[in-house]
Structure 1
Amino acid sequence: MHAFYSDHYVLPLPQGHRFPMAKYRMLRDRVAQELPQVQMLEAPRASDGELALAHHPAYIRQIADGSIQVLQPQAMREIGFPWSDAMVERSRRSAGATVAAVRAAMGGQGIAANMAGGTHHATADKGGGFCVFNDAAVAARVAQAEWGRAHGPHRKPLKVAVVDLDVHQGNGTAQIFQSDASVFTLSLHGEKNFPFRKEVSDLDVHLPDGCGDDAYMEALETALDQLERRFEPGLVIYLAGADPFEGDRLGRLKLTFDGLQARDRRVFDWAWQRRLPLAFAMAGGYGVQIEQTVQVQINTYTVAVEYARRWRAMPA
């Protein structure tokens, strides 16, 4: 199973910044030690052309050259990172990693991963909530464009389901695809959590503070049933957020390690039963103990490897 990393691009964050940048390298180290079935590859850079399939060219240009600091200082405050060359490069590669994971999954692997990503608060013309470019949106649009070129104008377009199980609503993804019938956006999230002004996804499931394993799984099952009734995807992009965990600083839900692993298994199994290629990204995770966030993510990879093995065992 291919997994694409960009953790060697480390942002120069100020002392005391609350974003847990170290979790990405910790995850890669543990995957290397515990899951030799995962082949880890450096993430490619998303080009301006790829980014422009989901973002306005002026926004891309202002991020790339740093002029956003002068032209839109409030926009940088909403992103939550100070501008730097490393921020630009890491953001490009985080988007490029999901593009690469989608290509690998669609190219016959069935399952592939971005070891970061899930930057679902970035809209078409601005970032927010530690998200600069929306990797899922960029990857979905790249996949659709490449599908169209490969199969010609008379073939049905590729339909993509974005299953967002980060604890925060995927408001940026919802905004980008709001009028696009070829992409279905599903978001299960804390009702009272960030962002406080929600966008409208194709299917939003608002969860109360304190929601635990059983209630969460019931809500997920109902949501997947609705997704199946309303949409027929050819690709799934899964945001496997670690922040619904009961020990997360920003989550406000009460899922256990077992509950989150059951969540992952249900999503992977749902896609496998329909033989849908699936690319996944790690999305949020802000554990009081960063090791717990990484454990949630390792559990996701353990499930993913199992389903990747099933894809490999399929006849050509």
Structure 2
Amino acid sequence: MLKYELIPEQLMHEGTITTANIFTPAACSEDVVLLTHDKAYLDKLLNQTLSAGEQRRIGFPQTPELTQRELMITQGTIDCCFYAMENGAAMNVAGGTHHAFADRGEGFCLLNDMAIASNYLLRQNLAGQILIIDLDVHQGNGTAKLFEHNPRVFTFSMHGAHNYPFHKEHSDLDVPLADNTDDETYLALLQTHLPKLLTDLKPDFAFFLSGVDILNTDKYGKLKVSMEGCKQRDAIVFSLLKQHGIPVTVAMGGGYSPHIRTIVEAHCNTFRMAVNIYG
């Protein structure tokens, strides 16, 4: 999508970031992917042997370039974890592929980057308790399923109750939102749940999926959150995580407003808010 090029260009143009703040990841290695995904499924991606039905479920026709892109996005999320440990927060301009399961992709997601990164941190003893804060308008069904029996990764999802996926998995905490949920209701629910999670769970690392498909302009979101409300959402998450001393890796997730400038502005606001709060 065009937004992946426009977001860093806008941030550099306005001086929010410089080239020193940008890194380009390599492809994630197979052994790291296999901490989360089944070998048979990864082999299909690498060898371009997905069935027509599997490709329809993902929403993309398979290509070697698409698989390579997904492997780079995944490694980008892992690399962000190390930057976050140093600086408090780090951002992947892509990522948030939360509909990918161990054995299949769905909803434009081939590999689950936050799940892979979480399992990598746990395997390397770089984290003991992880919190995934999924504020995309769509439930992170793949992420929920992947960690349903793993108490070291807590999945928290605030999402449209009547939106894709229509069969929801069970996150550790699901907060389904009614159609037309506005700023006041949305932000109040976030302020109710997230502080308590941080106090009770005491995570030592967090992932934040900052989808901007919650906007009232989104073609598919069904919510009524304003641009300012979306900014305040990001401010709440970053401020609380900083207050608790929890490093966070952020992935952009979805955004489907009719005008690309709206999508780019909303995603750029997430970067701007991180810079404001973490300096």
Alignment of 1:76-95 (within 5 A): 76-95=55-74
Match of 1:214 in 2: 184
Counterpart among 164, 175, 186 of residue 156 in structure 2: 186
Query: How far off is 1:229 after superposition?
Result: 4.8
* Distance across 1 between alignment mates of 2:82 and 2:26: 12
Aligned with 1:227 (options 197, 200, 204): 197
2:100–2:111 CA contact under 8 A, matched in 1? yes
Q: Write the mapping of 1:1-316 to structure 2, written as runs, cut at 5 A.
A: 21-37=1-17, 39-68=21-50, 72-106=51-85, 108-147=86-125, 158-309=128-279
Alpha-carbon offset, residue 145 of structure 1: 1.6
| Percent of paired sites with the same residue | 36
Contact 1:44 1:100 in 2 (8 A): no
Which residue of 2 is the match for residue 314 of structure 1? none
The gaps in structure 2 that reach 5 residues or longer are none
Runs (4 or more) in structure 1 with deviation over 6 Å come to: none
Whether the 8 Å CA contact 2:198–2:244 is kept in 1: the answer is no
| Residue 110 of structure 1, CA deviation | 1.3
Check the 8 A contact 2:98/2:142 in 1, yes or no. yes
Deviations 1:73-107 (A, max 9, x none): 2111111011011101111011111111012112x
CA distance in 2, matches of 1:197, 1:250: 17
Alignment partners' CA distance in 2, 1:26 and 1:170: 25
- Residues 57 and 105 of structure 2 are in contact (CA less than 8 Å); yes or no, is this contact kept in structure 1? yes
Query: What's the CA shift string for 1:123-157, capped at 9, x where partnerless?
Result: 11111000000011011111112226xxxxxxxx6
Contact 1:98-1:281 within 8 A present in 2 as well: yes
Superposition TM-score, scaled by structure 1 size: 0.85
Kindly provide the CA deviation profile for residues 180-216 of structure 1, in whole angstroms up to 9, marking residues without a partner as x: 0000000000000000000000000000010010000
RMSD (CA atoms): 1.2
Letter in 1 for 2:207: I
Determine if contact 1:174/1:200 at 8 Å carries over to the other structure.
yes
What is the SS of the residue equivalent to 2:22? strand
For these two proteins, the number of residue pairs brought into alignment is 277
